[in-house]
Structure 1
Amino acid sequence: MGATVSTAKLASAFQTPGNETIYVLYEETYEKNCYPHTPHWGCRTVGPLATVMKWIFSSGAACEGGMLQVRGGRNKPEQYIADWLTQLATPKEQHDVPFTLVVGGWDSSIPKDKSEEVLSRLTAAGFESIALALAAGEKHAGSLWADSRLVTCLYGEGDLAPWRIMRHSHFLNTDRPDLGYMPMPVKKPALAPAPEFLKVDGENRLVRQKDGSWRCGGWEYSVIGDFVGTLWRDELAQPGTFRKRIRAFREAIQAAPMVPADMKVLVDLTVPHYSTYDVQEREEIARHFPVKQTDTGYEISLKRDPGDLIDLASENREIYRITRLASQCVTWVGEAPQAQPA
């Protein structure tokens, strides 16, 4: 299985002239399907607390499906996030790092194939003069301490990683507990109830929307991962609650009942298509399965045994094909089965 294996973590920090704490996160990893398994350090993200927390939870989401592991194998998002919070509590002192920005090859500070999006982001953040100079082929010199907002904009808020300008050696082996993030945990958090879920087949899950309809959220691990990636704001507002939130969400989706036998599926053909595959599948489903035409597309009745999990490897692929459509154009209509009294 292709997966990234995390073997060590380290957080460093410094204070800006305006007394804002900036964190720099380093991680040691190797790729499971590449040999030999030699871990190497890389700088993952940089920015103020909110920026690095967003990255931590987004990365932790990859643990749910097994794409991010530890040496022993699978690792839960809860543990991965907790390990990073331990590092944030006791950061090392971060060096000042001089850098030069230039648009160039794949390993440049700004790769050419991403330059349009990156320079647009710089302009929107107030760095228009720098963006114009870089677009004209010029270089821009700066330093981490003096230009922390620029560095955060480039390497903390986009998809570029700060290893392009920083190495693992760019911190001092000096603890800075005064810059650590150690909030008091909330003892009685106000947790929002988990959404309602339905099982479509062995893997796919429906998620109840605010209007009462259902949409396919994807495979179970993906739905959980997406939820984990959004929790950084809740954790900042109510520290120490992420484990309870993830556990409650996971338990709710794992206990979901099967879709009812009388459920209907509405396919809206007026929604813009997202790929050639999506257009082909919409047409194929309408040709191969009984459908009822509607003002915006067509309706499919499932007519199936709600207690029967579909084998995705079998020839019966009706529901599987429906779940492959872009969720924006597919609405599932029906009521969840009533829970039976114990």
Structure 2
Amino acid sequence: MAKRPTSQNVADMAGVSKWTVIRAFTPGASITEESRAKVMAAAGQLNYRPNLLARSLATNLTHQVAILVDDFENPHKLPVLERLTLELQAEGLVPMLVNINERFGHVHALLNAGQRQVDAVILFGTAFRNETLQDARLEGAAPMFVLARDSQIPGVPAISCDATIAIEELCAHLREQGYRRPGFMAGPQTLSTALGRRRSFKTFWVRHGVEHVPELPAKSYSMTSGAEAVRHYLQETSAGDRIDVLMCENDALALGALDVLRSEFGLRVPQDIAVAGFDNIMFADAPAYDLTTYEQPIEDMVKTTIDMILGRRERQTVQLRGRLVVRGSTKRT
């Protein structure tokens, strides 16, 4: 294997010092355009690329960002990851995806990321808890950011869709359509990821005279769990006592519920039971589902997170407004 060219090789060919080569590849460094042009020409001929690892030792920055994900069953994750990694790379940052599971927990992942000297950690999942992330071993860890979820962790900013506004808009639409017996399907709840959607949903209906809002608990944010939850509810509840609209905490749950309502119980949507979701995933607008949902402002959330990581914006919790998308699964008129 051929030996890689060094900065000294480039300097010799360009007729400049080694430090001039280093400045030429350092954004914002002081160097004349003439010297930069010489360095770049020589680097091109030698096929030279700067050693980022060596640079990180000098700057104390690795330009690596760890992304911790713990619920890959949720189809909403893919478009967000696509946008997030695209924007990180555009800023010269290297995303490092970490699969959190029963064998590789959050503390283990954060300690591992610390050893790799990542510049920041983005928590993009549902299972992390306050007490876990406040483990004494994590003292001095890289700055953490929670994306697309609420956070109750002191010092850890959350960048999310404003759940209060979103649910208010969704519920106002449902009430306008004449629904009066609402139910809510919630995914697994943890201390630090209480999404606020369930709370806002119940608050709206209590304010409008509906004291009891049945809850359909789901084991995970997946179509399978959504199907299981609605199946159990329909089996245990007589037709006359059932809800007339089901709000699901995310679209994956809603799609699973729709499949069971129609194919297993022969119910009409929305005539017998209406269904709404949250996220506006790629399958939501398919004719088979035609799901009313709420679209999160992914691009704005991602850009806000990266601005905080790069110090262009103060690190603080931010809630952004999304967009209501009305489709046939709730429209009576």
TM class by shorter-chain length?
A: under 0.3
Choose between structure 1 and 2: higher helix proportion.
2
Q: Which has the higher contact order (CA 8 A, sep 6+)?
A: 1
| TM-score relative to the length of structure 2 | 0.23
Choose between structure 1 and 2: higher strand proportion.
1
